[in-house]
Amino acid sequence: MGDVNELHQRWCIADGHADSLMWNRDLRTRSDEGHVDFPRLRAAGVKLQCFTIVTRGFPFIGGFPVFAAWRGWPREARASEWTRALWQIERMEVFCQHSDGAVRIATSRQVLEDNLSQGRLSAVLGVEGGHAIEGKVERLAELHRRGVRFMGLTHLSNNDLGGSSFPMMGNRGLTGLGQEVVEEMARLGLSVDVAHASERTLEHLFSHPTVRFFCSHTGVRAAGGGWRNLSDASLRVIADRGGVVGIIFAPVYLGGDSVDDVVRHIEHAVDVMGEEGVGLGSDYDGMVPLPKGMKDVTDLHLLTTALLRRHPESWVERVMGGNFRRFFQSTLGG
């Protein structure tokens, strides 16, 4: 493990998805709760972590306010999906401002590279579900101004933008409002996260000529696992457009509960997309367990070790973060 830890400190380890903000933990403090905080990310050698902003429940609309109240969110923050989004952004801003220079929100490729050269963790902000803007397209510019750099159009249920991949949602496509949102995202330079998009919504997104898209967390359908996994055809389109697919760690989407199951999905995705198309999309703190033997992000070395048994260092380095570094270098803006 010593050699692997040295590699983690040297490489740009990157992960495409953590829902840590919704739990209302102080991310500056090492905790025994959940999967991620700044000290544990640093110990694991992670240099780039995507933090997603969740505003709606599973999969019914009324569940999230109850969850937020349980987690001690202030009443005014719970008032609407928009206030929930802004409050989580504000929390991350405060955590970074008071991290003694250890973490900074990466809003541009220059900030990302500065963070890497200075040994800081880059927090990349995304929104999980476009219902957060409550139908107001002009709010996308506010999200961009506040540091958000990607958004998924849907989450665990259909919304006014399009269809969710959740079962029995009817495989709906993009709505007229969804098409407006995609146009504005393309104009602003916000990438689309396709992680929870229905097949028809994916088709509509893939036909857009300029919007950048990637997948922050998913399994791959041909390697087994759950309903929301991506097909090989979708993997190819994402790769052809320069996107990256983050492979999820959740056993329910892997068809198994071991680190080797994560490896199986990564290897299939690389076979389809090439070495530059695949990364990590753990879904840390996303209400799903990790594979056996993994308690939190500090156990990420188990995956690196498993990959190094089967592949060259250069191959593993790309998957463990090099590909997401390249993607965000090209999409965060100047």
Span 256-310, pLDDT tens digits: 999 999 999 999 999 999 999 999 999 999 999 999 999 999 999 999 999 999 9
pLDDT in tens, 143-171: 999 999 999 999 988 899 998 988 888 89
Task: Count Cα neighbours of 206 within 13 Å in the Cβ-side half-sphere.
Answer: 19
From 140, 241, 143, select the one nearest 183 (Cα to Cα): 140
Tens-of-pLDDT digits for all 334 residues of the chain? 459 999 999 999 999 999 999 999 999 999 999 999 999 999 999 999 999 999 987 655 568 888 999 999 999 999 999 999 999 999 999 999 999 999 999 999 999 999 999 999 999 999 999 999 999 999 999 999 999 999 999 998 889 999 898 888 889 989 999 999 999 999 999 999 999 999 999 999 999 999 999 999 999 999 987 778 999 999 999 999 999 999 999 999 999 999 999 999 999 999 999 999 999 999 999 999 999 999 999 999 999 999 999 999 999 999 999 999 999 999 998 7
Report d(CA 252, CA 255) in Å as an integer: 6
Whole-model pTM?
0.96
Q: Check: CB of residue 318 under 8 Å from CB of residue 275.
A: yes
What are the chain's domains?
2-331 (3.20.20.140)
Tokens of 53: 């902003």
pLDDT score, position 167: 81
Give the distance, in angstroms, between the CA of residue 284 and the centroid of all CA atoms in the same chain. 9
Burial of residue 275, with CB atoms counted within 10 A of its CB: 0-12 exposed, 13-18 middle, 19 or more buried: middle
Distance of CA 108 to the CA centre of its chain: 17
Sign of CA dihedral 146, 26, 35, 169: negative
- Residue 330 token pair: 């090209």
Angle between the 176-188 and 199-206 helix axes, to the nearest 10 degrees? 50
